Every structure is written in C-alpha cells, then in structure tokens.
Amino acid sequence: MSGLKIEKTLGLAQLQDQGRFGVRHLGVTQGGALDWVAAGWANRLLGNDADCALLEIPFGGVSLLCQQHTTLALTGADLQATLDGRPVAAWQSFQVAPNQTLILGPPRSGARGYLAAPGGFTAPLVLNSRSEVRREQLGGLHADGSPLRPGDLLQCGSAKPVPAAVPQQHVPDYLAPACLDVILGAQIALFSGQSLFDLFNQTWQVDQRADRMGLRLLGKTLRYQGPPIISEGIPLGAIQVPADGQPIILLNDRQTIGGYPRLGALTPASVARLGQCAPGQQLTFKPATRAKARSQQLALHNAIQTTLLVQREI
C-alpha cells in the first residue's frame, strides 16, 4: 500500500466528501466538506469526480510523508504549505515524489484547507459516504468516525496530470469582510423589532465555541417573543437563538432536529464562506431571497465544472 503517511496532526483533519444524504429520517446528519466550494475546486484540479474524498484541514498542524509519485491539489485556506521546505501555493495542483514531506501550517487567511489526490483518498463507504462524523462514529478512514492519527496511511491514485491552477478571479479573498446572505425563516416575525434590526445592522464576532456542528456568534442579545416551539428539522446553515440570545449557526455535523427558534438559514454560498471564518473574525448578515440563493449556488457549481484551468509548468 502507498499514498500519504500522516506524521503529525492536531487531531482535527478529517476525510470528507460531499456528504451523507437520505438518512436524516434515521437521525443521521449529513457531514461533508464545510467549504464545499474549495473542496469542489480541489477535486476539479485533478479531474476527480465531485464526490471524491479529500482531506479537510482546519488550522493546519499536519505533516504528510509522500510514499509514491502522484499529483495533489490544495485549495481553501492559505496554510503556508511547504514541500521539502519549498513553498507550495494554494489553489493549484502539484507533483510529489516518494520520501518528500508536505507540511501544512497555521493559516494566514481562511480557516480550512482542502487536499485532494487522484481518484480521491480511499476509505470505506458508510451509508453511501466516506465523510467522517465523530459524534455519530460514522465514516472516515477507519469507518467509525475516529480521528486521523500519526501513522495512518491515506491511499490514493498515482496519476500525474499536468499541474494546473484555479483562475485568479475564482479564488476567494478570505481576508475580505464576510457578509453572509440569510433566507428568512418561519419564526422571524416572533423576534422583537430591535432584534431584527440588530441582526442585520451590527458586526458579529465568531466565538471560540465553534466546530463542525455549529458556530456561535457574539453580539447584541436577540430576543424571541413567541411561544415555545415543537422540535423540527434543521436545515444546513440554520440560525437558531437559544435562551442567552446569542445566535448559533448550525453546520454540516448538526443534530437533525431542534427546538430553538430560528431566524432563518444561510444560503449554500454563505455556508461555504462561513467555513473559512476563524474564531475572532467578524461578519455581517444581509437578507436574501431563495431565487438569489439558487442562482448563486448554480453559478458556483457551473464555474467549478466548466472553467478552464490555468496550466502550470512542471
């Protein structure tokens, strides 16, 4: 067996694909790459199917020993990547050889990097997905949701397509202010008028309490004035408000139902952008229509699938 051997990890890096669908009636969440845009570009750089498993790397701290000749692709956060000490830029593919060491450090911008390999990294299918969900002990390299450990081997293909890069106009600027689109929800009218004003007219800060299940924000207290609600299904990007009035945005590893009132949900494009927001970063919200959300999502999918890549010299 050959591929990439994990020499060092913070315990946060995970195998993810597009997610696990058709199982929420069983109480199983979807998982999948938080920044589906960056993950999509990583697979596109190698000509992979969109659902190939790749490595999601929050906040760096990963060292990999290459054990074969192959081509890898790196997108998402700028993790100050080096290959045998030489810088490797994000948003491009690059060739590696046996005994070379790829180091992914703390991000200079963004929060999560995505590393893809030809044909995707090999892992068992669990409920039709390789995505790791630790809380539910599903998926991942060991099929039980357990974290990647030093000594683990990520098997992959050995294809060596000509290295390419994502055109600059499609590379997100994670240092730019994050303004997230919100589709208003069923309980929006049951919040105070001041709370609705504050939702869209203040800057929120990402709390340290953030993971793949949800991300808590800090700002002015929001007040729900309606009756208790019955637990209901929770969509990706739902903005729920618990009793302390500080909103929580629910992400890919969220629970399937919940009883907190919700202001609405982020659009898919904004969920991807939120995946690159680190604790302490500031963000704002603006209302959006379903039509705009659909248009954004289709445009991003189309760009990933059809944009001509920039060929690089070997």
pLDDT at 161 over 90: no
Selection from 180, 164, 172 nearest residue 312 by Cα: 164
> What pLDDT score does 292 carry?
95
Q: In the predicted model, what is the mean pLDDT of the chain?
A: 96
> What pLDDT score does 314 carry?
65
> What pLDDT score does 256 carry?
95
What is the pLDDT confidence band of residue 1, given thresholds at 50, 70 and 90?
low
> What pLDDT score does 312 carry?
85
Q: What is the mean pLDDT of residues 106-123?
A: 97
Beta bridge partners of 265: 183, 238
Contacts of 271 (CB under 8 A, 6+ apart): 34, 36, 236, 237, 251
191, 242, 270, 271 from 260: Cα distances, Å = 12, 6, 21, 20
Q: Give the span between the Cα atoms of 254 and 20, in whole angstroms.
A: 13
**Domains of the chain: residue spans and CATH:** 3-167 (no CATH), 178-302 (2.40.100.10)
What is the pLDDT confidence band of residue 293, given thresholds at 50, 70 and 90?
very high
Give the model confidence (pLDDT) of 67-104 as tens digits: 999 999 999 999 999 999 999 999 999 999 999 999 99
Q: What would the 3-class secondary structure string for 79-138 be?
A: CCCEECCEECCCCEEEEECCCCEEEECCCCEEEEEEEECCCCCCCCCECCECCCECCCCE
Q: What is the mean pLDDT of residues 36-59?
A: 97
